Amino acid sequence: MKSNRLTMMVLLAMALGVLVGYVVHTSAATPAAAKEIASYFGILTDVFLRMIKMIIAPLVFTTLVAGLANMGDAKSVGRVGGRALGWFIVASFCSLFLGLFYANLLQPGHGLKVDLPSSADGLGLKTSALNLKDFITHVFPKNIFEAMATNEVLQILVFALFFGLALGYLHHQKKHMLVGLMDEVSHVMLRVTGYVMRFAPVGVFGAVADTIATHGLGMLSVFGKFMLCFYIALATLWLLLTLAGYLVLGRDVFRLLGLIRGSLLVGFFTASSESTLPKLMEQLEEFGIKPRITGFVLPLGYSFNLDGSMIYTTFLAIFISQAYGIEMSLTAQITMLLVLMVSSKGIAGVPRASLVVVAAVLPMFGLPEAGILLILGIDHFLDMGRTLTNVLGNAIATAVVAKWEGKSDDEAEPQADAAVVAMPEAERLAA
């Protein structure tokens, strides 16, 4: 009931944002004036996202440390991590293949005649962020406080992994005291999450009003074919993810979808996966997943399991080749898929991550980076779908790994239930 209320408020905020944004766009004297007014709507979204970022580091760290300490040993952690990464790899490959398949089937760029500059200068995309050496070193924090201040989830996860495992080997009494402290702090952060999520509809309103006031509704029709084709591909991926979840979870997958629909909507309208992480952790624990699993798998998925971003990279690359009239052989397309499979891992923290990946890979196959300019104007609308898919994929992945681990409430030991006692209270606060 309370989850329904949040969903309705978000939908209402979206509709109001479209209306207000359209009025501003059509009544403003100049496009510059409309953009100026729109920037004030953007403040609402910025404030909401800042409050979300405020929560992420302490919530992820305390939940993960307590979870790892309760797992008992490195073998348990390795088993959970191995299962999670196995799911992530299969899901990523399927997502990349779907993007390739639908781009070839629907031909969104076929016959497109657009004059483009010869280079991607000025795009503001730092493709050097994909350097393998830099990525590997970036995974390991040089300063945990810096990692927390910048919300580097993967670095926080690495430090928490060492800290949690070490905590598990402490003397029984000291261990329980510190783990209890971590549990209490995570419960406090869930209460804070409840307060912040009250502001979600306002953040959604600001995001939608800002976008429509700046670009208007007309741009949706101009790029309608590309967007329609991409969302058809996304819809197929949603069905496949749900089917995969059904094969493992049975009918419980539909209960899971019902619980996370609020997070899906918030992620969609804000186009920010970060905005959903705290609330999604709470909803997954309400579903019956132990905090030790949620706190480990979900942050890991936010770095390595970006299904929406995966499908977009292959779809966009083939679209650009079609727009330029450049034929790509099947061998070249499969090679591109494999390159994207490797190069796209761990770029969650990079601004415009999907575009960065594509811009870095295009020259390897004789495709102009400047093709990205074709969709920059509508990338926000595409990012909305990508974000929703990323959230859905990680929620299902976490539930599946939990099922494999046998850590749901009806299977785990009763004493482990104490970690989720505060969930109903946090849900009450979020309504």
Which CATH number goes with the domain that contains 88?
A: 1.10.3860.10
pLDDT of residue 413: 45
Q: Which residues contact 65 (CB under 8 A, 6 or more apart)?
A: 160, 163, 164, 167, 179, 182
pLDDT of residue 353: 65
pLDDT of residue 336: 85
pLDDT of residue 376: 66
- Residues 273, 286: contact at Cβ < 8 Å? no
pLDDT of residue 117: 44
pTM for this predicted structure: 0.69
pLDDT of residue 411: 45
Q: What's the average pLDDT block by block, 10 residues per block, for the chain (431 residues)? A: 67 87 89 88 84 79 72 70 89 93 90 52 48 70 87 79 78 74 80 80 84 75 81 96 95 94 87 80 89 84 85 91 84 85 60 68 76 71 90 95 70 41 41 41
pLDDT of residue 234: 96
Place of tokens 């009918």: 251
pLDDT of residue 399: 95
The domain tally of the chain equals 1
**Owning domain of residue 24:** 2-430
Both tokens of 53, joined, read 């970022």
pLDDT of residue 414: 41
Q: Output the DSSP codes for 132-194.
A: HHHHHHHHS-S-HHHHHHTT-HHHHHHHHHHHHHHHHTS-HHHHHHHHHHHHHHHHHHHHHHH
Q: Which residues contact 414 (CB under 8 A, 6 or more apart)?
A: none
Both tokens of 334, joined, read 């499969």
